Amino acid sequence: MDPTQGPPRPTSPTIYDVAKACGVAPSTVSRAFSRPGRVNAETAERIRKVAAELGYRTNPLARGLPTGKTSLLALIVADVTNPFFFQIIRGAEQVARKAGYTMLVADVEESMETEREALDRVIPLVEGIVLATSRLSDSSIRVAAKQRPTVVLNRVMTDIPSVVTDNARGMRRAVEHLVELGHTTIMYVAGPEASWVDGMRWRSLREATYELELRPRRIGPFPPTVDGGLAAARAFGDSPTSAVIVYNDLMAIGMMRGLTEMGTRIPEDVSVVGFDNIFGSDFCTPPLTTVAAPLHNLGAFAIKTLLGRLGTDTPRTLRPALLPSQLIVRGSTARRH
Amino acid sequence: MDPTQGPPRPTSPTIYDVAKACGVAPSTVSRAFSRPGRVNAETAERIRKVAAELGYRTNPLARGLPTGKTSLLALIVADVTNPFFFQIIRGAEQVARKAGYTMLVADVEESMETEREALDRVIPLVEGIVLATSRLSDSSIRVAAKQRPTVVLNRVMTDIPSVVTDNARGMRRAVEHLVELGHTTIMYVAGPEASWVDGMRWRSLREATYELELRPRRIGPFPPTVDGGLAAARAFGDSPTSAVIVYNDLMAIGMMRGLTEMGTRIPEDVSVVGFDNIFGSDFCTPPLTTVAAPLHNLGAFAIKTLLGRLGTDTPRTLRPALLPSQLIVRGSTARRH
DNA sequence: TTGAAAGCGCTAACAG
DNA sequence: CTGTTAGCGCTTTCAA
């Protein structure tokens, strides 16, 4: 090995250095760190002390080679730029960190292609994977899951642990809220067609309205962005209702802006409900009534689930974990005029 | 090694498998992937074909051990939850990915302690580090930089490559804009005291106002959050001016809300300018006039700089890279009444 | 409880 | 251009 080739940085001490300084065998040093029980208490203490003095840190890479335990977890997100994911990432990181894992966050920019590449790059590195709002097909996900324990977030699969928001309950609460305000016809403004969540929300709305004897309506699909909401506002003009429930907050914000520009007053003319309670939904105008997703908890719970799967090879429970959402009433909904 | 211990997953093929299947030596397979030039074209072709059939992927971990080249880069961000970082992360990831690197994003939740831990965990894994808005002391940063090539983002250091927004120019443009609108006294609403950027912005404001013969004023410090802005609005009530420039958009949004609640009209009574152009600054009320930071480019450029430093041991240029910002005029500023 | 030795998958010198 | 041979730093049998 050419020493001028490798990293020219001051090479950090290894177990060999510590072993020499302690007068014990390298394997003992290794044991002192990886299974402290299997080494004489005093010796272990001495080793730890010397190691600290030398500034020894076990090299996770080297440890990973023989054991496969890299202490790395992957979180693949559809779009780091989408505020929906901020709290998810943080929740995930917190739990991972506490468990001694480092998280590798990969942004796939909503592209299936990029997601597959990210997976390829990341799989050999990590012990487990969380797919947050994956754009991959079920079968692609299964392929990945065969290589590393995998948890899907925001999507339900029957053979892979899933963590999702309880959309049905959330939708139900939103509808009840609107009914209490006197609305009788509710328009659902749909998000992307391919989205599992969109399908779920629309179905939940139909069920809720059916039970409450309301008429649901629907326009869309629209892209799940502010611009998509703008487009929805224009389409909505053709057959307005007094209340709309929008696929997500981003679209709801866009739609409110579009509506306002067209002279429609919110909430006087139209009540608007969004989904997710993302950053910004409280300071748009008017502040958005929304079904808050438990974002932080979603991320945290996904990692917890993954951590639980790490040892065992057989999935525990395959019922998707349903995390409760919460209706947050703000200024965009009001009594029907 | 206990085979029941390691990852129970289907162990992927190694160079040995490929070598056997090809009837060549393992080292040849290795060469075929790491330095294709050094192996017979046909042989290389054959190896690649067989490797593809077997589904062979070179194990980055194993490769990293002897070479130190892990193809991993770390991006340490002060707060993943802050929209300021979204585009930075994306820009960084894009560049890293194109260069064949995987990015490890660590959230330190604005905590010095957490940041140091994150560094410790990450350093042995990665080839280089970008510190985005580090909360560490200069000397702590130097310690890290001694171990791995390091670039600091949003902060200037004389001995470490730095990438920052050209705050002086941006501030100058903001002040000129306000002057054109007839404002003569400008209040700076300060962010966190410890922040290098805050100091820079205040200094730039003083310089700009000096040249233009205006009176600058200042309140603060406040936390760089919506709530901090709310607090600033209350403090501002004591000695109002017709125009304020706020440390960042988050605070500006909070301040506008606070002002509005107190009955102050924006922009009629007070013109407000923010900094950064984060997500949401376009849909708050009124839409915020702001000095847009080149967020995406900041992240991209930092990684490019890091990539450039990777080979060489001596830093190239130590003049901080100043990336241009841009004034975006929206509804929160108007002619003085 | 400890030491010796083999090996994780890959790379890089050194001969041939 | 290719095979052989040492390792990278750590873990884990296997003996002692």
Mean pLDDT of the region A282-307: 96
User: What is the chain A residue with the closest CA to B74?
Assistant: A104
Q: E strands within chain B?
A: 72-77, 102-107, 128-132, 150-153, 162-165, 185-189, 215-219, 243-246, 271-276, 289-292, 321-323, 326-328
Q: Which of A122, A318, A228 is nearest to B57 (CA)?
A: A122
**Residues A103, B106 contacting (CB under 8 angstroms):** yes
Nearest Cβ partner of B121 from A102, A105, A148? A102
- Across chain B, mean pLDDT equals 92
> Per-residue pLDDT tens for A224-275?
999 999 999 999 988 899 999 999 999 999 999 999 999 999 999 999 999 9
**Which residue's CA is nearest to the C1' of nucleotide D3?**
B25
Q: State residue B10's pLDDT score.
A: 59
**How far is the CA of B155 from the CAs of B95, B180, B182, B243, B304, in angstroms?**
21, 31, 33, 27, 17
SS (H, E, C) A243-292: EEEECCHHHHHHHHHHHHHCCCCCCCCCEEEEEECCCCCCCECCCCEEEE
Tell me the nearest-neighbour CA distance from A9 into chain B, angstroms.
6
Q: A314's torsion region: left (phi>0), alpha (psi -120 to 50) or beta?
A: beta
- Predicted pLDDT at B337: 83
Average pLDDT over residues B103-113: 94
Q: What is the pLDDT of residue B36?
A: 86
The mean pLDDT value for A159-178 works out to 96
Q: Could you tell me what percent of chain B has a pLDDT over 70? A: 96
Q: Do A67 and B106 touch (CB under 8 A)?
A: no
Q: Report the percentage of chain B scoring pLDDT > 90.
A: 87
Residue B195's pLDDT is what? Answer: 85
Query: What single-letter amino acid sits at A317?
Result: T
Q: In whole angstroms, what is the distance from residue B102 CA to residue A105 CA?
A: 9
Q: Which nucleotide is nearest to B44 (CA to C1')?
A: D1
| Angle (nearest 5°) at CA A289 between A197 and A265 | 115
| Confidence label for A1 from pLDDT (cuts 50, 70 and 90) | very low
Q: State the average pLDDT over residues A174-187.
A: 97
Tens of pLDDT, residues A90-111: 999 999 999 999 999 999 998 9
pLDDT at position B314 is 63
Question: Which of chain A's residues have a Cβ under 8 Å away from the Cβ of B1?
Answer: 66
**Mutate which: B107, B108, B251, vs A, most A CBs within 10 A:** B107
Q: What is the pLDDT of residue A5?
A: 34
Query: H/E element holding A219?
Result: strand A215-219
In a mutational test of the A interface, the residue from B1, B2, B4, B9 whose CB has the highest number of chain A CBs within 10 Å is B9
Q: Residue A77's pLDDT band (boundaries 50, 70, 90)?
A: very high
- pLDDT tens across B114-143, in order? 999 999 999 999 999 999 999 999 999 999
Task: Check pLDDT > 50 for residue A317.
Answer: yes
Task: Indicate which of B69, B125, B226 best probes the interface with A, i.e. most A CBs within 10 Å of its own CB.
Answer: B125
Three-class SS of residue B243? strand
Query: From CA B154, how far away is CA B131, in angstroms rounded?
Result: 9
Looking at residues A162-175, what average pLDDT do you find? 97
Residue A207 CB: number of other CB atoms within 10 A?
15
C-alpha distances out from residue A114 to A147, A192, A299, Å: 19, 19, 21
Residue A3 has pLDDT above 50, yes or no: no
Report chain B residues whose CB lies below 8 A from the CB of A124: 12, 57, 59-61
CA B255 to chain centre: 25
Cβ atoms of residues A196 and A156 within 8 Å: yes
Shortest-distance nucleotide from B14 CA to C1'? C9
Looking at residue A83, its pLDDT comes to 93
Count of beta carbons in the 10 Å neighbourhood of residue A22: 21
Which residues of chain A have a CB within 8 Å of the CB of B57? Answer: 120, 124
Cβ–Cβ gap B106/A106 under 8 Å: no
pLDDT-wise least confident of A12-21, A196-205, B5-14: B5-14
Q: What is the pTM of this model?
A: 0.92
The Cα B74–Cα B214 span in angstroms is 44
- Residue of chain B whose Cα is closest to the Cα of A311: B7
